[in-house]
Chain A
Amino acid sequence: MNKNLGIFTNGIIKENPLLVLSIGLCSSLAVTTSVFNGIGMGFSMLFVLLMSEIIISLFHKLIPDAIRLPIFIIIIAAFTTIVQLVLAAYLPALSEALGVFLPLIVVNCIIMGRVESYASKNSVPHSILDALGMGIGYTWVLTAISVIRELVGNGTLFSTRIIPEAYTVGLFSKAPGGFIIFGLMIAITASISKAVENKKKAAAKAADGAQGGAK
């Protein structure tokens, strides 16, 4: 049980695809100008990742090693097209806003990376947990970045005005602002995880010391 929880939380913080593994960045910088887009992209990605990992871990014994990459791409592309069609039909505003980045989910390295390094070697339940963890990890980072960018850059949240237009910093809704916030978030996560690690080490050392003293 504990191991399963570990697989799930892995993607959310410890091996977060965006903040720690630093993959799939370009689309995430481009779509995070508004919270609506950020969340929409996050969930589209989560869906494609989840379905692809399920199918691939289910069939991985039937996929010959020599042609595994083309097969992965066929499966990922199929699910991406499904997302694209469904969004165009039922959420046209979102599909218009995400534009070219929606079809580009196919080549998003997070999906390819997880499918190749995880789903093709592990069982279905573990792959589901991994996909959910990675997908939620991707979605929460996108949401966090887009909240900051929309609020500071545009003064709005979900298109309702919160800060008057005169006090907004336009830079943050442009690409450089995205990079700055992204860099800050990576720095904060890295320093927190380092601090936690140091604390653990110190605790372990103290425990060792105590044991040594008891001898």
Chain B
Amino acid sequence: MSMIKLGLILAAYAVASCFCLAIVNNITAPVIAQHQADKVSVILKVVFKDADSFSPVTDFTNEGGTATIDALYLAKKGDKVTGAVTQITGATYDKATILVGQDLNGNVTGVQFLELSDSPGFGQKAKDPSYKTSAGKTFYEQFAGKKASDGFKPGETFEAVSGATITSKGVGVLLTEATTTAGSYLAEKHGGAKIK
């Protein structure tokens, strides 16, 4: 009997705290969402410079794989669709959310990390603006101008972060999935080149 009473007391405290949290969450959630949206809109312009507006679409099909495609934005110049930006979340060493831009020919226009939770000092170098590959670019800048159809394999088509092979491989997989999904979408609806 006393067990049940204790359980009920504990439940009462939990319910009361949940109630308070729900109130705070209601107030802060729109503000947080706004921050996230602002951050994304800044990054969109970085990964796809040659566009003046972006519109999210939802009627794409995720081309296999384990990663989640959070959003697909059509990049437009005036009324013309010039490419797409894909926001993809998936496993690296821990996980990453990346924005990838590509034009209608399947060339990568830019890559940026929205979030990356890999180890500081190793995987984190992938999004560190002061870490440079042998070509003198940051890890994420080196993808600009690459052909999506060549694939993204560390050591072959791009330079891995030294000491963070798994992060680099993971990023490669995410980029492949993002570019094929967006590539098929563009090919189907806006006359883009199909990525094999």
Binding site for B on A (CB under 8 A): 62-64, 66-67, 70-71, 74-75, 77-78, 81-82, 85-86, 88-90, 92
Chain B neighbourhood of A64, CB < 8 A: 6, 9
Whether the pair B6, A66 counts as a contact (CB closer than 8 A) is: yes
Main secondary structure of the interface of A (DSSP, over half): helix
Number of A-B contacts (CB under 8 A): 44
Q: A67 is contacted by which of B6, B25, B28 (Cβ under 8 Å)?
A: B6
Residues of B within 8 A of A81 (CB): 21, 24
Asked if A78 and B10 sit within 8 Å, CB to CB, the answer is no
Measured CB to CB, the closest approach of chain A to B42, in angstroms, equals 13
Given contacts A85-B28, A86-B28, contact A74 B14 (CB under 8 A): yes
Supply 11 A–B pairs (Cβ within 8 Å), ascending by A. A63-B9, A64-B6, A66-B6, A71-B10, A74-B13, A78-B17, A85-B24, A85-B29, A86-B24, A88-B32, A89-B32
In B14-36, which residues have CB < 8 Å from any A CB?
14, 17, 20-21, 24-25, 27-29, 31-32, 35
**Chain A residues, Cβ within 8 Å of B13:** 71, 74-75
Q: Which residues of B contact A78 (CB under 8 A)?
A: 17, 20-21
Query: What residues of chain B lie closer than 8 Å to A66, measured between beta carbons?
Result: 6
Give Cα distance in the complex from A74 to B15, angstroms: 10
Q: Which of B6, B9, B14, B25 sits near A85, CB closer than 8 Å?
A: B25
A102 to chain B, nearest CB (A): 14
Chain A residues with CB under 8 Å of B24's CB are: 81-82, 85-86
